[in-house]
Amino acid sequence: MKLLRHLSVSIALLLTAGSAVGQAQDGDWVSYRDAYRAMVVFEKYGKPKNFLQSHLQVQGRDKGIPTEGLQLSVVGKTTRLNLPLDAAGRAVFPFNTVAYNENAVLVLNRKVNQYRFRPRVSIVVRPDGVYEAADLRSACEQMLAYERYLSAAPHAKKCVGVRFAFARGEDDPGVRLRKGDVAALPPSDGAAFADDLNDGFRVVNYRFGDSAAKGQVVTENAPLAISAIYE
């Protein structure tokens, strides 16, 4: 089990760093098999993850590299799949046996060596926009447990809240704390995820404090992503 875990972590870190393993010399593609092996770790993870979801994320390797208009595809001998990217650069990864057997590649419409690929786990967005405070704490704890499983989060870290990320143009994303009364949570500019170089989002941090066990957080607009806050 430890060997499998270390292998999975190594693959994920290679993808995160934009490793040349499985990558063409001209920087035009990345191995689908490498991405598959990194992404399947979350699928096989056996501990609670009902509040979590996993995507393949494409990020600029340096701040300021544009992601607008970025297109991602899986291309094999008989395979052609277009993978739509959301505003945070994430795509639903297809676990496709044919693409795996064909040793397909992940292709961008720009030079791959300007970007990095990584698994990105986030908290599931609720369609009704209503989040129980206790559920958000559980989601944060599930996220922290998973990152510790990957040896990516020190055990000294603790869950202190969650971050809702919205498009930059939303001056007031409409995130409210409902606990007897309704209080607005202040927005600011920042990154959707703590380790993301793209800080072009409008974000609202909800810190647990004394309200973690009761109350609700209500969003008027659907967030692009929800991430965990550790300290």
Residue 17 is predicted with a pLDDT of 34
- Each residue's pLDDT tens digit, 76-125: 999 999 999 999 999 999 999 999 999 999 999 998 889 999 999 999 99
Lowest-confidence region among 84-98, 152-166, 193-207: 152-166
Pairing assessment for the beta strands 201-207 and 187-190 based on DSSP bridges: antiparallel
Helix (H, G, I), strand (E, B) or coil at 218: strand
Lowest-confidence region among 16-20, 32-36, 58-62, 138-142: 16-20
Q: Where are the domains of the chain?
A: 2-122, 129-230
- Calculate the alpha carbon distances from 167 to 14, 17, 176 in Å: 29, 26, 17
Higher-pLDDT residue of 154, 97:
97
- Each residue's pLDDT tens digit, 206-231: 999 755 567 899 999 999 999 999 99
Q: What is the mean pLDDT of residues 178-202?
A: 86
pTM, two decimal places: 0.85
Residue 223 is predicted with a pLDDT of 96
DSSP 140: H
